[in-house]
Amino acid sequence: MVSAGDFRNGLTVEIEGIVYQVIEFQHVKPGKGAAFVRTKLRDIKNGGVIEKSFRPTEKFPTAHIDRSDMQYLYSDGELYYFMNVETFDQIALGEEAVGDTLKYIKENDMVKMLSHKGNVFAIEPPLFVELIVTETEPGFKGDTATGATKPAIVETGAQVSVPLFVEIGDKISIDTRTGEYMKRV
C-alpha cells in the first residue's frame, strides 16, 4: 500500500479496480483547509488520462507491472505471434492488443511485453530501430535550403519523413516513440 502523499512519477497504483500510472503529481497546501495531492493519472489498459485529487493520507495498493522480453515471430493476418526466448513459450495477440506498435518492428526483433496479473495490455518496441528504405522519390539539388524532407517507405511498410539525400536501399535509424528519422546508418 502506498499513500497519496508518497506518489511519484511512474508509480503504478490500483484505484477502484483500475490500474493507473502517475504522470504528474503536485502537493498543494492552501491557505485555508487541509492539504491535498493533485494528480494526472494514465489508465494503463486504454491509455486515457484523468485528473484526480486525493488527501495525502489515502492509501492505494501498488500494481505490479511485469515486463518480459519477447521475440516477434510473425503475423498471420489476424494474430501476432511472440516467443519468450528463455522458455520458448509462444503467445498470440490480436489486433486490439497490438495496435500500431509493430509498424517499425520486423520479424525476429525483440519487444517488451507489459502485463498485469497475466493479462498483456501493451507492447513496447525498442526505442530505436534500423530499417532499410524500400521506396522514396529522388531528391533534387537546390531543395536543401530549408532542410526539406520527403516521404519514404521502410521495409515494414511504415512511412517516415526523411532528408532529401536518403535513397532507396539506405539503412536509417528511426525513433519508435515519435516515428522520426534519426540518422543514416
Question: C-alpha cell of 155?
Answer: 521495409
- pLDDT tens-place string over residues 122-171: 788 899 999 999 999 887 666 555 677 889 999 988 999 998 888 899 99
The per-residue pLDDT for 64 is 86
- pLDDT tens-place string over residues 61-118: 988 888 889 999 998 888 999 998 888 989 898 887 787 888 889 989 999 988 888 7
Question: C-alpha cell of 76?
Answer: 498471420
Same domain, 10 and 56: yes
The pLDDT of residue 181 is above 60 = yes
CA distances from 162 to 106, 128, 138 (A): 20, 15, 11
pTM score above 0.75:
no
Enclosing domain of residue 25 = 2-60
Total domain count for the chain? Answer: 3
Tell me which residue of 29, 47, 44, 36 sits closest to 7, measured CA to CA. Answer: 36
Domain boundary among 75, 94, 124: 124
Tell me which residue of 57, 22, 56 sits closest to 39, measured CA to CA. Answer: 22
Same domain, 55 and 6: yes
The domain spanning residue 15 has which CATH number? 2.30.30.30
Q: State the maximum Cα–Cα separation within the chain, in Å, rounded to a whole number.
A: 67
Same domain, 79 and 48: no
CA 102 from centroid of its chain's CA atoms: 10
Domain boundary among 30, 45, 60: 60
Is residue 171 a contact partner of residue 130, using CB atoms and an 8 Å limit? yes
* Strand pairing report for 59-60 and 79-83: unpaired
The pLDDT of residue 60 is above 80 = yes
* Spatial separation of the C-alpha atoms in residues 143 and 89, rounded to whole Å: 51
Dihedral (Cα; 135, 137, 139, 144), 10-degree rounding = -90
